């Protein structure tokens, strides 16, 4: 009665969401649920989006999927756990986006979903999720002529896939499925440009090499938690024949991956001519990473076993971005050896724009910076064995705007930055945690372009007042931050002359009690974290609240 009185069929809605609550009235039978949904049939001329969540009937009424809903473009069926079959949605003429999820009692997807004749004539995006009981999927000829993206996630029992050609499919994303699903789907498409696979059971080296034979036009491959694969290809020359258009490769948590290719040491390095971007993370068996000539973006992080990352002789000339994080066994020298291999960071990298190094324990020095004439951003953090830094070359880096050198406790300020000169266009500087406490540094000739400065405390930084750093602060700063000064009590006096300041950040300074009251009204952003004394005074009712309450962006969190 309630559903009938809602009279949805007379209301010209464009978007309807029908969501059953968590509590279930035991007096309402599953048949009754279907009757309720049948009475909630909306007006068919105007509806564009339909969402049905946690419906408890065994089957759907006929109006769900009726072709008369000629403007319906997006449908989501989610959490209808009692249903044993899907509604016949394949005959909706304008449907472009379909999501079907969490229907564990559905075992077969076929005629019930697609209907008779041409199925899903306009569908572009199809996403199945959490169909734990799903075992078989088949389609009739000509189905999905416009399908561009297909996602199947958390469907571990899907074993039998019998599909016709998918001529328009560009993006395929599979997670927690069997390898047969992957093999069958790449077999029925010839236009795939992006492949993402995650936790594909049974995918061995041999089976993977059968898959890549179908990836001739693929430009991006992402592989995550495929733990049975040891090598992506036998050699670069072999890979270049089947991955002719590969531009981007992302590898994550592939526990047994040992290298990209089994025979990499024999490569000339010029086979994968289209390869541009490589990201490898949490691959703890990876020992060696050999990069093709044309690499532009290389990111290696959290790979505990990697000892060498290398380019062919003369390689690295096109590299623009290099990032290395938490690679504890990576060697500074002997990074491959032989005539064809150069040291990782080498003079050939004339186009390098961004260099990011975090926690590289074996790094003791860095190649003279003068080679990197295109460098815009340089970050070195937590490299405690790094003993020297060619700071005297910084004035020659005319493109460098962003510089961070933090927690490199073996670097001496006097020896590594003897001139006190900096890049002429430097805008952002984060520095500290070096061999000498910041309070003992001499005056620095910062360029007038420097507008953002963040200072990090080292183990011996015990200053109590920020006035000890006044020689580092100039009035043109718009952003200023400090981090980790455990004994610091006062900042207000030292900051009063920063009349251009718009963003102030104070992190992990537990004894700090004051703020620059005259500057607070002009701030656009104030960030405070790990400062219990300041948190109390800046909270509602605190002494600073009348001054900071009007700051547009206020972030105060213990």
Claim to verify: residue 477 and residue 445 sit in the same structural domain: no
Measured CA to CA, the distance from residue 224 to residue 97 in angstroms comes to 26
Mean pLDDT over 384-391 rounds to: 88
Q: What pLDDT does 343 receive?
A: 52
Burial class (CB in 10 A: 0-12, 13-18, 19+), 229: buried
Is position 207 within any domain? no
Is position 131 within any domain? yes
Query: Strand 341-342 and strand 308-312: pairing?
Result: antiparallel
Claim to verify: residue 1 and residue 129 sit in the same structural domain: yes
Claim to verify: residue 430 and residue 472 sit in the same structural domain: no
Is position 540 within any domain? yes
Residue 278, token pair as written in the block? 């490589």
Claim to verify: residue 385 and residue 501 sit in the same structural domain: no
Do 418 and 389 contact (CB within 8 A), yes or no? no
108: domain range? 1-142
Q: What DSSP assignment string belongs to 274-312? A: T--EEEEES-TT--EEE--TT--EEEEES-TT--EEEEE
Q: Last residue of some domain: 122, 142, 162?
A: 142
Claim to verify: residue 386 and residue 485 sit in the same structural domain: no
Residue 288, token pair as written in the block? 């060696």
Mean pLDDT over 505-527 rounds to: 94
Measured CA to CA, the distance from residue 535 to residue 510 in angstroms comes to 10
Claim to verify: residue 9 and residue 125 sit in the same structural domain: yes
Q: What pLDDT does 368 receive?
A: 81
Measured CA to CA, the distance from residue 510 to residue 327 in angstroms comes to 32
Q: What pLDDT does 291 receive?
A: 85
Mean pLDDT over 84-109 rounds to: 96
Measured CA to CA, the distance from residue 253 to residue 198 in angstroms comes to 10
Kindly provide the residue ranges of all beta strands, DSSP E only, lying in 94-139, ordered along the sequence: 97-101, 108-109, 125-129, 136-138
Do 70 and 93 contact (CB within 8 A), yes or no? yes
Long-range contacts of 357-360 (CB under 8 A, 24+ apart): 357/323, 357/324, 357/325, 357/381, 357/383, 358/301, 358/324, 358/325, 358/326, 358/382, 359/325, 359/326, 359/328, 359/383, 360/324, 360/327, 360/330
Is position 2 within any domain? yes
Q: What pLDDT does 365 receive?
A: 84
Strand-pairing partners, residue 152, are: 128, 174
| Count of other CB atoms within 10 angstroms of residue 334 | 10
Q: Would you say residue 514 has pLDDT above 90?
A: yes
Residue 161, token pair as written in the block? 């896939």
Is position 178 within any domain? no
Measured CA to CA, the distance from residue 444 to residue 455 in angstroms comes to 13
Claim to verify: residue 492 and residue 434 sit in the same structural domain: no
Is position 229 within any domain? no
Claim to verify: residue 111 and residue 17 sit in the same structural domain: yes
Q: What pLDDT does 63 receive?
A: 96
Q: Last residue of some domain: 142, 157, 180?
A: 142
Residue 259, CB-side half-sphere exposure with 13 Å CA sphere:
17
Claim to verify: residue 389 and residue 480 sit in the same structural domain: no
Measured CA to CA, the distance from residue 552 to residue 524 in angstroms comes to 6
Measured CA to CA, the distance from residue 347 to residue 381 in angstroms comes to 22
The helix/strand/coil state of 124 is coil
Size of the chain, expressed as the number of residues it contains: 558
The helix/strand/coil state of 25 is coil
More confident residue, 401 or 263: 401
Is position 97 within any domain? yes
The helix/strand/coil state of 196 is strand
Mean pLDDT over 2-23 rounds to: 90
Claim to verify: residue 501 and residue 381 sit in the same structural domain: no
Q: How many domains does the chain have?
A: 3
Q: Last residue of some domain: 400, 416, 450?
A: 450
Claim to verify: residue 138 and residue 1 sit in the same structural domain: yes
Is position 8 within any domain? yes
Mean pLDDT over 271-286 rounds to: 91
Do 544 and 518 contact (CB within 8 A), yes or no? no
pLDDT in tens, 29-66: 667 889 999 999 999 999 999 999 999 999 999 999 99
Contacts of 541 (CB under 8 A, 6+ apart): none
Do 294 and 276 contact (CB within 8 A), yes or no? yes
Claim to verify: residue 26 and residue 117 sit in the same structural domain: yes
Do 294 and 272 contact (CB within 8 A), yes or no? yes
pLDDT in tens, 332-382: 653 333 333 345 677 778 899 999 999 999 888 887 888 888 999 999 999
């Amino acid at each position: 009665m309630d559903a009938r009185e809602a009279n949805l069929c007379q209301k010209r809605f464009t978007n309807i969401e029908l969501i059953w609550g968590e509590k279930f009235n035991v007096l309402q039978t599953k048949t009754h649920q279907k009757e309720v949904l049948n009475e909630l049939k909306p007006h068919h001329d105007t509806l564009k989006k339909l969402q049905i969540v946690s419906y408890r009937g065994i089957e759907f009424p006929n109006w769900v999927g009726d072709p008369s809903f000629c403007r319906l473009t997006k449908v989501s069926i989610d959490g209808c756990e009692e249903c044993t079959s899907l509604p016949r949605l394949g005959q909706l003429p304008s449907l472009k986006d379909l999501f079907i999820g969490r229907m564990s009692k559905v075992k077969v997807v076929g005629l019930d979903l697609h209907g008779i004749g041409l199925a899903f004539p306009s569908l572009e995006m199809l996403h199945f999720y959490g169909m734990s009981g799903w075992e078989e999927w088949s389609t009739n000829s000509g189905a999905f002529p416009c399908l561009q993206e297909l996602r199947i996630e958390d469907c571990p029992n899907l074993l039998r896939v019998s599909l016709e050609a998918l001529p328009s499919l560009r993006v395929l994303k599979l997670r927690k499925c069997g390898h047969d699903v992957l093999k069958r789907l790449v077999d029925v498409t010839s236009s795939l440009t992006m492949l993402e696979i995650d936790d594909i059971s049974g995918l061995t080296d041999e089976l993977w090499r059968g898959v890549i034979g179908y990836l001739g036009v693929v430009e991006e491959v992402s592989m995550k938690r495929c733990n049975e694969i040891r090598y992506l290809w036998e050699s670069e020359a072999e890979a270049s024949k089947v991955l002719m258009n590969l531009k981007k490769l992302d590898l994550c948590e592939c526990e047994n991956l040992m290298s990209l290719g089994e025979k990499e040491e024999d490569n000339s390095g010029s086979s994968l001519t289209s390869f541009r971007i490589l990201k490898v993370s949490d691959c703890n068996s990876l020992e060696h990473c050999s990069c093709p000539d044309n690499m532009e973006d290389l990111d290696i992080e959290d790979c505990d076993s990697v000892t060498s990352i290398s380019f062919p002789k003369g390689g690295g000339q096109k590299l623009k971005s290099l990032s290395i994080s938490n690679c504890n066994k990576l060697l500074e020298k002997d990074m491959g050896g032989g005539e064809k291999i150069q040291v990782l960071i080498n003079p050939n990298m004339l186009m390098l724009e961004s260099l990011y190094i975090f926690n590289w324990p074996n790094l003791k020095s860095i190649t003279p910076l003068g080679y990197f004439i295109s460098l815009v951003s340089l970050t070195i953090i937590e490299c405690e064995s790094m003993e020297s830094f060619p700071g005297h070359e910084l004035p020659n880096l005319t493109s460098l705007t962003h510089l961070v050198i933090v927690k490199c406790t073996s670097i001496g300020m006097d020896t590594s930055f003897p001139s006190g000169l900096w890049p002429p266009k430097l805008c952002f500087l984060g520095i500290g945690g070096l061999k000498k406490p910041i309070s003992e540094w001499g005056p620095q000739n910062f360029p007038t372009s420097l507008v953002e400065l963040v200072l990090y405390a080292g183990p011996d930084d015990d200053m109590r007042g920020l006035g000890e750093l006044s020689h580092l602060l100039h009035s043109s700063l718009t952003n200023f931050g400090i981090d980790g000064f455990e004994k610091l009590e006062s900042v207000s006096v030292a900051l009063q002359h920063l009349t251009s300041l718009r963003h102030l950040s104070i992190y992990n300074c537990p004894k700090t009690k004051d703020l620059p009251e005259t500057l607070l009204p002009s701030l656009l952003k104030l960030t405070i974290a790990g400062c219990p004394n300041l948190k109390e005074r800046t909270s509602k009712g605190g002494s600073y609240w009348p001054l900071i309450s009007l700051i547009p962006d206020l972030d105060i969190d213990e």
